[in-house]
Amino acid sequence: MKHIDEFRNPDYIRGLLSRINAASRTIKRNVRLMEVCGTHTMAIARYGLRKLLPENVSLISGPGCPVCVTPNSYIDTAIAISKIDGVRIVTFGDMYRVPSGRNSLEKRSAEGSNVDIVYSPLDALEIARKNPDKKTIFLAVGFETTAPLTGRVLSYARKQHLKNFFILSGHKLIPPAMEELVNDALHYIDGFICPGHVSAIIGSKPYEVFPEKYGIPCVISGFEVCDILHSILILLEMISGKRKVSVEVQYFRCVQRKGNPVALRVIDDTFDVSDTEWRGLGVVRASGLVIKQKYYEFDATSVFEVNVKSSVDNRGCICGQILRGVKIPLDCHLYGKVCTPENPVGPCMVSSEGTCAAYYNYER
């Protein structure tokens, strides 16, 4: 099994851990490394990596789960639209269960709204094509990874002359959120483990602001045990002065400096960059993607007028602080008691990439 030999080799893992311990001893303070990818969060928890690291090296989870950072205002808008006659909401499974105050799409479905779960925007397009009597709204939530597919679906909808297909864009951009965290006075970040999936689209160049402006090293990591440990080692060597502080691509098998030019062209053709709200971070400048004017007929916000008074998070939920990395799930008095995957109080427990779900499944 070449895959296991290369990325889960026990001897190589032991060697990496030995080098990590040696590098940590040259740093005479505590080090905080943040991963900003939900898949990394799950992998770190599943493989028990926090317990393997030196005492002065901490891994903290950032806003790497797209469902988790989607604010109540977006969910409340989707719920309000779902109440309109003749409307069918189409969403990914995680968004179906995310609570907004005391409501959710799951509850709206139980109350009679048409809500379908799909695995791809292409499925949403097919639902619209087969149900011309229904207005189909796809909830496009995700980072740069999924934005190109949403863009392609919009172009397909135009070619097929669909008049009943719409998108409610909730796409977000990771680097501006990372910069928002760097400027957060509540905590410091010594290095970033950058998301592999996002970086396969945008490349490594957008992260260069962090070493150049803030002196913070970045490593774009893969998702296997050896990938993550190797990335941690590189960051520690940068922090200790053994390497130059920069952006390094550990996940070189999938990521190039300039990213994927085809995917980036699709994003540029379909979306404009705008300010947008993030759960836990508030409104972050130039961190959202809104549908371009030339596709306005497919933009749900231009077609469906709803009056929405955004709800507040459930009392006691600290999901916003967890997404900023200033709290961990164990700091929440609801975690594992009132809030479980079967009865989630906040989105961090709902999503398969949420920090609370990762802790609950692997680190209790």
- Main-chain phi, psi angles of 11, to 5 degrees: -65, -40
pLDDT tens for the chain, residues 1 to 364: 455 567 778 899 999 999 999 999 999 999 999 999 999 999 999 999 999 999 999 999 999 999 999 999 999 999 999 999 999 999 998 899 988 877 889 999 999 899 999 999 999 999 999 999 999 999 999 999 999 999 999 999 999 999 999 999 999 999 999 999 999 877 789 999 999 999 999 999 999 999 999 999 999 999 999 999 999 999 999 999 999 999 999 999 999 999 999 999 999 999 999 999 999 999 999 999 999 999 999 999 999 988 887 777 788 899 999 999 999 999 999 999 999 999 999 999 998 899 999 999 998 7
pLDDT at 67: 94
Residues 6+ apart with CB under 8 A from 183: none
pLDDT at 1: 42
Look up the CATH architecture of domain 2-65+188-249.
3-Layer(aba) Sandwich (3.40)
Q: For the chain, what are the domain ranges? A: 2-65+188-249
- Separation CA 168–CA 77 (nearest Å): 9
pLDDT at 188: 86
pTM listed for this prediction:
0.94
- The interaxial angle of helices 38-46 and 355-362, nearest 10 deg, is 10
**Residue 347, SS3?**
helix
The enclosing H or E element of 45 equals helix 38-46
Quote the distance between the C-alpha of residue 190 and its chain's center: 20
